[in-house]
A and B are shown apart, each in its own frame.
Chain A
Amino acid sequence: MKFGVVVFPGSNCDEDMVYVLRDIMKQETIKLWHKNTDLEGCTHIILPGGFSYGDYLRSGAIARFSPIMNSVIPHAENGGFVFGVCNGFQILCESGLLPGALLHNASRKFICKNVYVKVDNMNTALTNSVPQKALKIPIAHGEGRYFADSETMAALKKNNQIIFKYCNEQGDVTAEANPNGTADNIAGICNAGKNVFGMMPHPERAADELLSNTDGKFLFESILKSALVHA
């Protein structure tokens, strides 16, 4: 198992992700520069948060054309693990590895705060070790309102591809707990093959005991467990 965190120009959560994987989860982790095409033997590819290429166009719209994506896309299509957080999720949608799109928040404002999410599908490489409770994980985005046409939404539900929904502290999925107007309270999804994941909340910001919240660590533990099972 080897993690590769892709660094696009404008990525700004790359260091945080590397810190959690390397220093907290004790995993072999390297950075992958966007201009390269070699995944350097990484089994797990992470697209971190940030503002790739400034995101002056639609978020992620330019990053999908980075040379590294020419290797990330085949890796995903061959069943390899790919996980995008925030801007990473946006890039995965833009590149077609995940369905749907992420629109401007309903408030038209950037939102950074702790929110609660609940796992909708426990049976994935990202969620197998997550307890049945509302997880406190922060969001920080301007474009996080998930949208897909009704056919896609139906397929997502049918295939159990919706993996995180925004909820309140008690774990109830309510309209009030929806921070950005996202469809069906969706906070994160995966592809039909269940090897490509995207979510708007930042689990890497909730994995260090010094920050007094480690709810995000369950996701990383799930990844490790799943990798062991499949090794």
Chain B
Amino acid sequence: MAAIKYSEQLADVEAAKNLGLLPEEFDRIKEILGRTPNFTEVSIFSVMWSEHCSYKNSITWLKTLPKDGPHMLAKAGEENAGLVDIGDGLGCCFKIESHNHPSALEPYQGAATGVGGINRDIFTMGARPIAQLNSLRFGDINSQKTQWLLKGVVKGIGDYGNAFGIPTVGGEVFFDDCYNVNPLVNAMSVGIVKEGETVSATSYGVGNPVFIVGSSTGKDGIAGAAFASKDLTEDSAKDLPSVQVGDPFQEKLLLEATLEVIKTGAVIGMQDMGAAGITCSTSEMSAKGEHGMNIWLHKVPTRQEGMHPFEILLSESQERMLVVVEKGKEALVQAVFDKWDLNCAQIGEVTAGDRLKYYMNDELVADVPADVLVLGGGAPVYTRDYKEPAYYAESKKFNINTIIEPNDLKPVMQFLAKLPNLASKRWIYNQYDSMVGGINMSTNKPSDAAIVNVKGTKKALAMTVDCNARYVNADPETGCAIAVSEAARNIVCSGGIPSAVTNCLNFGNPYNPEVYWQFVGSIKGMSSTCLKFKTPVTGGNVSFYNQSSYEGPVFPTPTIGMIGILEDKSLQTTLDFKTEGDVIYMIGESKNDISSSEYLYSFHKTKNTPAPFFDLETEFNIQAAVISIIKNKLITSAHDVSDGGLFMNLLESAMVNNLGFEISSDSAIRKDAFLFGEAQSRVIVSVSANATSALETELKKQNVTFTKLGVVKGTNIVIDGTNYGSVSDYKQSFDTSIEGYLN
């Protein structure tokens, strides 16, 4: 027994500040409770009102994102993840989430638990995860710290995802000095659920029992949400207990048991325990179901003796779920968890009213209303000031004529092919099981987006994660519009129709007005583009404070996860050149533009330049044209022009089957801009020689600009009659570049 009762350990404003609350927030808590809160209660408020859980500095702007689409079953914020109707009585449930701060301190566990958390968000809704993707950002690959972070993150994602048994089918990796201290680790999961078998994160029915299932509760990850809501500093290593520890074996058992328990019909509501653990799941479910709960913390299975109430409440131990069960059906639930050898303990009951009453043995240690804790309820909402940073106007002054075009472009090509941002990421993705499940249709047929079979239907899903953060930094609105457009373009080039978006908004400190300007611009760009493509934003997460106190913020990185639908699997379209003699076309237009290209940034080391050329209307029309020519089976390959420009695009299509190409450049623009510029809205297609007139007719009908570039020929790269070397030589350095840094 504690010397002083927990309920009598009153908190003051200093204690609140230490937990990350603002003085005015502490005042509000006093006002809400009508008394001074005790330490346990302030702990509860501190995690629930943290940026991570409350979205207090972002929600005003998030609400402006388009939520409605023709196929939405659950809109953003309604459930743990968005749900899209894909027909055939099936829903697709998908979400992306960050685990940046834990990964910065402890890359292996940080990344592993990121994978675990996002998958739980999917199966807590009753969906079976079928595919995973990830989007990673690291600092300078030459630094030992980056290499340590990269190896740990990749091993963490691999060990967790591989054992969990869901294929990792896609992703992106990008290196820039701005991520030296603060890497970004964003994990996405996609699941499938039968219509009518979804479960809601809700709680109702007075007297219904509340169960905690899965792993025991330990001291790991205590106040992880609060930790994620401040800048990384040199002292952050002291926060190591804020990093959770993952157990993919438990997660696999929890997945199977969860899906099985739903089938018993005994489940009223369910929510996984991620950020803020028991506190978050009890308050969010109660608020949603408009009921209260009595929770008996001493009944929670713990890993060690003597845990304090606030530790049990705030623990972010992984692989746990809160389940509200229909009274009288407890035995059905218990039997399932017994079968899978998992904990299943009743820790409370649903009550009338809206109070959450947490007990430790006989003592009421915290008594708070559910609704005031949660986003959309009483959690604080702030509007932040923002201001255009000076670099923005400065970047607009860039003039391409100040960059001297190299006489010989072959060294540039060799440089780009092995640049870590452009080179093969096989050292990374070969450590992920990409084939378990037997549904990855891209293993033997590469395309811009990953294609995943939906068994038992004619359909397949296309999925991708994209964000060129350098563009977003150059111009948040245009850059984020490009991120959405590129994701859509990747899906379209693979034979799909873009369907919906999940976002992971990685930014610096929101109290910095220049960071907030980047945030607001990104949201505006995302909104207009998602509206145009009819791809609603179904959910996601916001990760602020991605900066170190001594190196400044990371590039604004609003990662876009997008899914699309192939109405028929036969629409799957690949990126590789197929046959010698096929004709290569560019749909879209070359521009005299090298702004923010990898070529300009890394070869010429010119860093502050505008986003590349982009026009939303043109982009939309180009994509509509590609959809049409794929539907009409007119082409043999499609691949969009993105990082590294036309040269990298052609090389990627050439390397798969070791087929060379001969093309002519456009005399109206600089050859370096033609080959390495990253102007948007361009797709390269190859077509059988006897189908060129049909293709041209269709493209004219679609009213888009196009150019015949050349032909698939031999095994060399030939441009304007000059031989720039063999495809296989480039492939050798492309394939082995990254392992050269890491092995």
Contacts and interface: CB of A to CB of B under 8 A. Distances in A.
B389 interface: no
B444 A112 contact: no
Interface string A18-37: 01100000000000000000
B159 A110 contact: yes
A103 interface: no
Interface stretch (B288-296, B300-308, B433-441, B490-498): B433-441
B27 interface: no
A205 B253 contact: no
B320 interface: no
A51 B250 CA distance: 11
B453 interface: yes
A132 interface: no
B291 to A, nearest CB: 35
A50 interface: yes
Interface stretch (A150-158, A184-192, A207-215, A223-231): A207-215
Contact of B441 (A10, A20, A113, A211): A211
Contact of B443 (A51, A110, A213): A213
Interface in B636-693: none
A19 B253 CA distance: 21
B165 A112 contact: no
Interface in B426-477: 426, 430-441, 443-445, 453, 455
B162 A140 contact: yes
A12 B248 CA distance: 12
Given A54-B248, A211-B440, A211-B441, A138 B435 contact: yes
A56 to B, nearest CB: 7
A9 B159 CA distance: 17
A142 B159 CA distance: 9
Q: For the complex of A and B, list the 3 residue pairs with the smallest distance between their C-beta atoms, beginning with the closest.
A: A12-B165, A54-B249, A212-B444
B551 interface: no
Given A12-B252, A138-B443, A112 B437 contact: no
Contacts of A110: 158-159, 162, 431-433
B362 to A, nearest CB: 38
Contact of B569 (A12, A202, A210): A210
Contacts of A204: 438
B336 to A, nearest CB: 13
Interface string B151-181: 0000100110011110000000000000000
B443 A211 contact: yes
A114 B443 contact: yes
A147 interface: no
Interface in B208-222: none
Contacts of A13: 165, 436
Given A54-B249, A56-B249, A140-B162, A205 B340 contact: no
Contact of A54 (B247, B426, B440, B569): B247
Nearest to A24: B438
Interface in A86-118: 109-114
A210 B441 contact: yes
B436 A16 contact: yes
A113 B430 contact: yes
Nearest to B342: A9
Given A56-B249, A110-B159, A112-B430, A202 B435 contact: yes
A208 B433 CA distance: 18
A181 to B, nearest CB: 14
A211 B249 contact: no
A9 B250 CA distance: 9
A16 B437 contact: yes
Contacts of A16: 436-438
Contacts of B248: 51, 54
Contacts of A19: 438, 455
Contact of A112 (B159, B340, B341, B434): B434
A20 B445 CA distance: 20
Given A110-B162, A140-B433, A211 B444 contact: yes
Interface in B694-738: none
A106 to B, nearest CB: 12
A109 B437 CA distance: 21
Interface in B536-573: 569
Contacts of B431: 109-112
A74 B430 CA distance: 38
Given A112-B432, A212-B441, 14 more contacts: A9-B340, A12-B165, A19-B438, A50-B163, A50-B165, A51-B163, A109-B431, A110-B159, A112-B162, A112-B431, A138-B443, A142-B162, A211-B440, A211-B441
Nearest to A205: B435
B252 A10 contact: yes
A49 B436 CA distance: 9
Chain A CB within 10 A, most for which of B426, B430, B432: B430
A15 to B, nearest CB: 8
Given A54-B247, A55-B163, A112-B431, A9 B253 contact: yes
Interface residues on A, range: 20 to 34
Interface in A121-172: 138, 140, 142
20 contacts: A9-B252, A12-B164, A15-B437, A51-B162, A54-B247, A54-B248, A55-B163, A56-B249, A110-B162, A110-B433, A112-B430, A112-B432, A112-B435, A140-B435, A205-B436, A205-B438, A211-B440, A212-B441, A212-B444, A212-B445
B430 A210 contact: no
A127 B222 CA distance: 54
A194 B434 CA distance: 32
Contacts of A211: 438-441, 443-444, 453
A53 B163 CA distance: 10
Contacts of B439: 211
Nearest to B426: A113
Contacts of A56: 249
Contacts of B158: 110
B433 A112 contact: yes
A201 to B, nearest CB: 11
Nearest to B341: A9
A141 to B, nearest CB: 9
Interface in B227-262: 247-250, 252-253
Interface string B318-350: 000000000000000000000011000000000
Interface in B404-441: 426, 430-441
B169 to A, nearest CB: 11
B438 A20 contact: yes
B741 to A, nearest CB: 15
A208 B445 CA distance: 14
A204 B455 CA distance: 15
Chain A CB within 10 A, most for which of B247, B248, B340, B445: B248
Contacts of B435: 112, 138, 140, 202, 205
A224 B291 CA distance: 59
B578 to A, nearest CB: 13
Contacts of B247: 54
A13 B165 CA distance: 8
Nearest to B168: A112
Contacts of A50: 163, 165
Contacts of A54: 163, 247-250
B433 A10 contact: no
Given A9-B341, A54-B249, A112-B431, A213 B164 contact: no
Nearest to B430: A113
Contacts of A12: 163-165, 252, 436
A202 B437 CA distance: 11
A205 B443 CA distance: 10
A31 B163 CA distance: 20
Chain A CB within 10 A, most for which of B159, B250, B432, B435: B435
B450 to A, nearest CB: 13
A16 to B, nearest CB: 4
A211 B155 CA distance: 27
A49 B441 CA distance: 20
Nearest to B163: A51
B249 A51 contact: yes
Contacts of B440: 211
